[in-house]
Amino acid sequence: MKSKLDWSAPILPGISMMGLTLGVSRQEVLDALHSHKVENGDIDGSIVVQFPNSPKLVLEESPDAIILRDPVSRAPDSPTLDELFVMGFKDDVLVHLMTSLVYGASLEYYKGRIFNEVGFGTPVSELAKHCEIEFDSGDELFYFNGRQCMGLSIGGSCSSLEDDPDQTVSYIRVYAPKE
């Protein structure tokens, strides 16, 4: 894998985000991340990485994920509050990429855009130019119809566009669409 990690890489629904392509192995992802390890950057024994356009990020692993955390807002009592980027795996194969706003974080959120237009802080309704939007009230996420948006879900204010037409993107997930 010749992944070129970039905190501003385009978001390609159902394909890639941060320069990582779905379907690569966990080891390939780890190799790409470790190639950006910050010298003397360990925080509390954790590895710190930094790649083009990114802040310093704390790298953590779990059996089914690799997590990039915000070192500024580390939340030991609530471990998911500082997750800036999550790479999910099934059988050691990358199956989804997720990023979300972290309130109180260092404000170095993922900078990539969907269709070079839509990212954090953009109105959710902007994606309607490209695909039909459906709100799932159970997940409190938006899903899309249309080939170019398959494999993408986004979150806003946890309500439909009818209830909150001005909501902005606060969560982005890329995953392999089901055929």
Same domain assignment for residues 96 and 128: no
pTM (2 d.p.) = 0.89
Q: Are 69 and 88 in contact (CB under 8 A)?
A: no
Same domain assignment for residues 130 and 54: no
Model confidence pLDDT, tens digit, residues 39-89: 766 566 778 999 999 988 889 999 999 999 877 655 555 554 567 899 999
SS3 label, residue 148:
helix
Task: For residue 67, give its domain range.
Answer: 16-100
SS3 label, residue 10:
coil
If one counts the domains in the chain, the total is 2
Say if 11 falls within a structural domain.
Answer: no
Model confidence pLDDT, tens digit, residues 97-123: 999 886 655 567 899 999 999 999 899
Residue 74 is predicted with a pLDDT of 54
Q: Which helix (H) or strand (E) holds 47?
A: strand 47-49
Same domain assignment for residues 94 and 130: no
The rounded mean pLDDT for the chain is 87
Model confidence pLDDT, tens digit, residues 132-162: 999 999 999 999 887 888 999 999 988 889 9
Same domain assignment for residues 92 and 128: no
| Cα 93 from Cα 96, distance rounded (Å) | 9
